[in-house]
Amino acid sequence: MSEKKLFEVKNVSVSVEGKQVVSDVSLSIGRGEVHAIMGPNGSGKSSLSHALMGHPLYEIRSGEASLNGQSILEMTADERSRAGLFLAFQYPLAIPGVTVANFMRSALQAHRGKDADMTDFRKLFKKRMAELDIDSSFATRYLNDGFSGGEKKRIEILQMTMLNPRMAILDETDSGLDIDALKEVANGINRYHSDENAILMVTHYQRLLNYVKPDYVHVMMDGRLVTSGGPELALKLEDQGYEWVENEYGQKETAG
């Protein structure tokens, strides 16, 4: 892996309402890298994502997590965001009464600081919308109110490109998308990605990885990362499912 570690997770365990759902997960992600976590439903992928972002229902019970060499565990969710961490939700919330433009402006203002110059906002907003092929009429619509699944995901990617985080965690961004919407979302992700940031994609399926190429693929089961590899691992999972991982992981547990 890269010598320049941007995001590091060491032996992180997560609990929800007193129940441990993630155990001793470690990841090291360098600048310019794309990682994917794959796994069946209930394996702990989304729980890990929410805990790293600072969701109050997901408690990190032990371990360490750092962004650009700085620990994030004592930061609130908004502090983690301002430090450069971003989470795209599997189910983006609708906020009736708040337009997309006003939401994006408020989010960017919060990142830059309340006294920061925002004179470039309109130009930047229009540019990012055009890059994602989002119709200008969405600017005045209420955030995600009545949006299709694909529209909601594209607005999430729009927010990501507006904030330009150092580290983006994408929690099942491909969920519920048809092939055209998937290609549009993937295009936005690829436009954002650079040698100075990194991406962690959480997904069940290999299809997103056809369009956003991962450098590393990790498999999560029962709250643990059980194996890692290159892009070929995702193809094997697509071809053979998770049964072979369950068998191999179970054998290791028994042997241990």
| DSSP structure class, residue 193 | -
The whole-number mean pLDDT for each consecutive block of 10 residues of the chain, a chain of 256 residues, reads: 78 96 97 95 93 96 96 96 94 92 96 90 95 94 94 94 97 88 92 96 89 96 94 90 79 39
CA angle, 143 then 144 then 147, to 5°: 140
Residue 132 lies in a domain: no
**Residue 52 contacts residue 75 (beta carbons within 8 Å):** no
Q: What is the pLDDT of residue 175?
A: 84
Residue 43 within a domain? yes
Q: What is the pTM for the complete model shown?
A: 0.91
Residue 76 sits in a domain of what CATH number? 3.40.50.300
Q: In this structure, which amino acid lies at residue 24?
A: D
Q: Which two tokens stand for residue 67?
A: 């962004």
- Looking at the structure of the chain, the number of domains it has is 1
Q: Is residue 124 part of a domain?
A: no
Structural domain includes residue 222: yes
Containing structural domain, residue 84: 5-91+166-255
On whether residue 233 sits in a domain, the answer given is yes
Residues 237 and 40: their CA atoms lie apart, in Å, by: 11
What stretch of H or E contains 30? strand 19-30
